[in-house]
């Protein structure tokens, strides 16, 4: 079953009097439970594509269905609800609250969802255990390595119980060992939890953890490669 379906999606910007095309007539289907990598050089449109998929940006043209629901023309508040319900985000920068420990950081978005304290704590503990940080619950970001901070960010995403995790250069600021550890966590979440993963990366070796690679050039899909 398709969970993400883009048809004829373009995204244009105006810089002064100049029209800039970030995406041009993108057709892309992602099945539920797939692990997909988007790759391309800087300025190719891959992050714009991820932002459109994540309902952080709207296409100028074309249609977008997320979990069989048309979303490209929804209101800002409706898009926020969609993000809250379906999507977990993991970024290159961890965006952790420096004053909160790991447990508090993972619980923070659950507060905005309106969950009771007991349920927030249960989900946060379970998510931190999944990423191997059940022994670092009360460490703040400054007391953790970059790899550990990224694992907290992943735990924060999966505690929301999303259908899709979108990751923008999730290993970009990490050493190779920490990066491989993060990718192993994504692969496990994909295979064991059935979570659809869509990541943007520059690193070919990180693309090997997924099932297909969408190669973007000048705002267009150049080709789609299967892995393995």
pLDDT at 174: 85
User: pTM for the whole thing?
Assistant: 0.91
Structurally, at CATH architecture level, domain 2-226 sits in 3-Layer(aba) Sandwich (3.40)
What pLDDT does residue 56 have?
Answer: 93
How far is Cα 98 from Cα 102, in angstroms, rounded to an integer? 10
Q: Count Cβ atoms below 10 Å from residue 53 Cβ, excluding itself.
A: 23
Q: What's the confidence (pLDDT) of residue 15?
A: 83
- Whole-angstrom distance, CA of residue 227 vs CA of residue 154: 24
Phi and psi, residue 226, nearest 5° = -85, 145
What's the pLDDT at 14? 84
State how far the Cα of 39 lies from the Cα of 157, in Å rounded to an integer: 22
User: In the chain, which residues have pLDDT < 70?
Assistant: none
- Check residue 18 and give its pLDDT: 84
Answer for the pair 86, 65: CB distance below 8 angstroms, yes or no: no
Report how far apart, in Å, the C-alpha atoms of 177 and of each of 147, 180, 181, 186 are.
9, 5, 6, 15
Residue boundaries of the structural domains of the chain: 2-226
What secondary structure does DSSP assign to 113-136, as a single string? HT--HHHHHHHHHHHHHHTT-TT-
Q: What are phi and psi of 63, to 5 degrees?
A: -125, 150
CA–CA dist 164, 157 (Å, integer):
10
SS3 assignment, position 180: helix
Residue 139 is predicted with a pLDDT of 97
Q: What 3 state SS string does 42-110 have?
A: CCCCHHHHHHHHCCCCCCCEEEEEECCEECCCCCHHHHHHHHHHHEEEEECCCCCCCCCCHHHHHHHHH
* Per-residue confidence (pLDDT) for residue 228, from 0 to 100: 75
Structure confidence by residue, pLDDT tens digits, 117-130: 999 999 999 999 99
**How far is Cα 123 from Cα 157, in angstroms, rounded to an integer?**
11
For residue 13, the SS3 value is: strand
> In terms of DSSP bridges, do strands 212-217 and 35-39 run parallel, antiparallel, or are they unpaired?
parallel
Task: Give 165's contacts (C-beta < 8 A, 6+ positions apart).
Answer: 87, 88, 89, 90, 154, 157, 158, 186, 189, 195, 196, 197, 198
Beta bridge partners of 39: 215
């Amino acid at each position: 079953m398709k969970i993400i379906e883009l048809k004829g999606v373009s995204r244009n910007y105006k810089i002064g009097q100049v029209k800039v095309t970030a995406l041009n007539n993108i057709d892309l289907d992602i099945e539920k439970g797939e692990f997909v990598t988007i790759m391309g050089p800087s300025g190719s449109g891959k992050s714009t594509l991820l932002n459109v998929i994540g309902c952080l940006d709207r296409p100028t043209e074309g249609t977008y269905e997320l979990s069989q629901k048309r979303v490209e023309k929804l209101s800002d508040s409706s898009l926020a609800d969609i993000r809250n319900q379906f999507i977990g985000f993991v970024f290159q920068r961890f965006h952790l609250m420096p004053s909160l420990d790991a447990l508090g950081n993972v619980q923070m978005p659950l507060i905005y969802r309106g969950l009771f304290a007991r349920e927030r704590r249960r989900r946060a503990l379970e998510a931190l255990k999944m990423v191997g940080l059940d022994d670092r619950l009360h460490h703040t970001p400054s007391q953790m390595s970059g790899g550990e901070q990224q694992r907290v960010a992943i735990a924060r995403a999966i505690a929301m119980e999303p259908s899709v995790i979108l990751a923008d250069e999730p290993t970009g600021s990490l050493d190779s060992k920490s990066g491989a550890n993060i990718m192993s966590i994504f692969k496990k979440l994909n295979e064991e939890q059935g979570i659809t993963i869509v990541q943007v990366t520059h690193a070919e070796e990180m693309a090997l953890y997924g099932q297909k690679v969408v190669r973007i050039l000048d705002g267009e899909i150049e080709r789609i490669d299967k892995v393995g």
